[in-house]
């Protein structure tokens, strides 16, 4: 029988959480040893042992705010989300937030949330942030809009614009949400058509990126460009070296150089990868994402959300879950979002 949608909702949010918690210790590292990472995962996945939980960072903290808002309001409420971001930040400021996004929280609070979208527009001398902070937290909204693609695109863009008003910032958020959405709608019992998955993303991004035509930009279609490069890497007969992935797709905090990378990790990890010894394609996705280095927690979190939405909760190792902070809470969010979505 097929994997239930409720299980896919859980897989998505637990995948998002585990990627963040497991990737955070390596954030900003380069040349992470494959064998060290293999031992790290084997130990955590193996017989349970008591140890302090791996703590989540800004990625899961902001995801939590979005989930809690959607559950409490049963609709998209930008002001409520902004208030929750600020409250969460001032309660736990040491969660590894992006350097500039913190300014927004201070301004929102100082201006008493007069315009929740206002402060984000002033970032980077008015050009807005192109960081991956919108994309890293978007999973709950992708679940909430499971059955309405138009609504998904519109609400996801607005959710991003609370902090990310640069086109690459909110388009990257839309791309991540679309990837989760596609995963939710596929049956993992059937072989994943990797080429079709990426072709569908390119087609959808051609609609999203349409409005930059004729503006005289160097590349008006940056996400389509990166997704096409991703397809070339996926189509290659021989294995792609990590250095080439990093050079071509990137592992930085910019949405353009991390969201396509996360999607690549999910698609590449459907089949075995050298030096990643596991039969579990969910774990392979997360382990591979971390092994690429750079913004490990965020890329692993985004890749984990896409993979979890595809494979469902049952594939996620119980012991890995036990080593991560707030797993029970994320399962509860998924179940509540499922109830709301199913009754819409």
Which residues here bind Mg ion, judged by CB under 5 A?
A: 20, 24, 57-59, 96, 295, 297-298
In the shown chain, the binding pattern of residues 28 to 67 toward ligand 8NA, with x for contact by CB under 6 A and - for none, equals: x----------------------------xxx--------
CB of 95 to ligand 8NA, least distance (A): 9
Q: Which two tokens stand for residue 140?
A: 């709950």
Judged by beta carbon, residue 58 or residue 161, the one nearer ligand 8NA is 58
Judged by beta carbon, residue 208 or residue 249, the one nearer Mg ion is 249
The reply on whether position 2 binds ligand 8NA by CB under 6 A is: no
CB of 174 to ligand 8NA, least distance (A): 15
The reply on whether position 257 binds ligand 8NA by CB under 6 A is: no
The reply on whether position 297 binds ligand 8NA by CB under 6 A is: yes
CB of 33 to ligand 8NA, least distance (A): 19
The reply on whether position 261 binds ligand 8NA by CB under 6 A is: no
With CB under 6 A as the contact rule, the residue among 19, 98, 250, 293 that binds ligand 8NA is 98
The reply on whether position 88 binds ligand 8NA by CB under 6 A is: no
CB of 263 to ligand 8NA, least distance (A): 16
Footprint (CB under 6 A) of ligand 8NA, residues 157-176: 166
What residues make contact with ligand 8NA under the rule CB under 6 A? 27-28, 57-59, 96, 98-101, 124, 127, 129-133, 136, 166, 253, 295, 297-298
């Amino acid at each position: 029988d097929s994997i239930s949608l409720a299980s896919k909702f859980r897989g998505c949010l637990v995948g998002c959480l585990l990627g963040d918690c497991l990737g955070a210790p390596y954030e900003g590292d380069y040349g992470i040893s494959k064998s060290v990472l293999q031992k790290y995962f084997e130990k955590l996945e193996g017989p349970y042992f008591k140890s302090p939980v791996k703590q989540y960072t800004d990625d899961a903290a902001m995801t939590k705010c979005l989930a809690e808002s959607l559950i409490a309001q049963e609709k998209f409420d930008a002001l409520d989300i902004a208030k929750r971001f600020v409250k969460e930040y001032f309660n736990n400021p040491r969660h590894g937030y992006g350097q500039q996004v913190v300014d927004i929280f201070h301004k929102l609070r100082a201006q008493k949330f007069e315009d929740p979208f206002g402060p984000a527009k002033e970032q980077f001398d008015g050009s807005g942030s192109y960081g991956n902070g919108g994309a890293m937290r978007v999973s709950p909204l992708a679940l909430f809009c499971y059955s309405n693609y138009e609504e998904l695109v519109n609400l996801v863009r607005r959710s991003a614009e609370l902090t990310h008003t640069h086109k690459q910032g909110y388009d990257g958020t839309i791309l991540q949400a679309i990837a989760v959405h596609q995963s939710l709608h596929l049956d993992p019992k059937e072989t994943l058509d990797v080429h079709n998955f990426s072709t569908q993303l390119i087609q959808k991004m051609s609609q999203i990126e349409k409005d930059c035509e004729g503006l005289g930009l160097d590349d008006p279609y940056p996400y389509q460009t990166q997704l096409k490069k991703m397809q070339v890497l996926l189509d290659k007969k021989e294995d792609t070296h990590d250095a080439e992935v990093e050079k071509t797709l990137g592992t930085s905090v910019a949405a353009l150089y991390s969201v396509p990378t996360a999607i690549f990790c999910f698609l590449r990890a459907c089949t075995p990868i050298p030096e990643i010894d596991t039969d579990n394609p969910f774990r392979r996705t997360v382990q591979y994402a971390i092994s690429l280095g750079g913004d490990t927690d965020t890329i692993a979190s985004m890749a984990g959300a896409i993979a979890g939405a595809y494979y469902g909760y049952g594939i996620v190792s119980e012991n890995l879950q036990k080593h991560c902070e707030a797993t029970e809470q994320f399962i509860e969010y998924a179940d509540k979002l499922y109830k709301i979505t199913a009754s819409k």
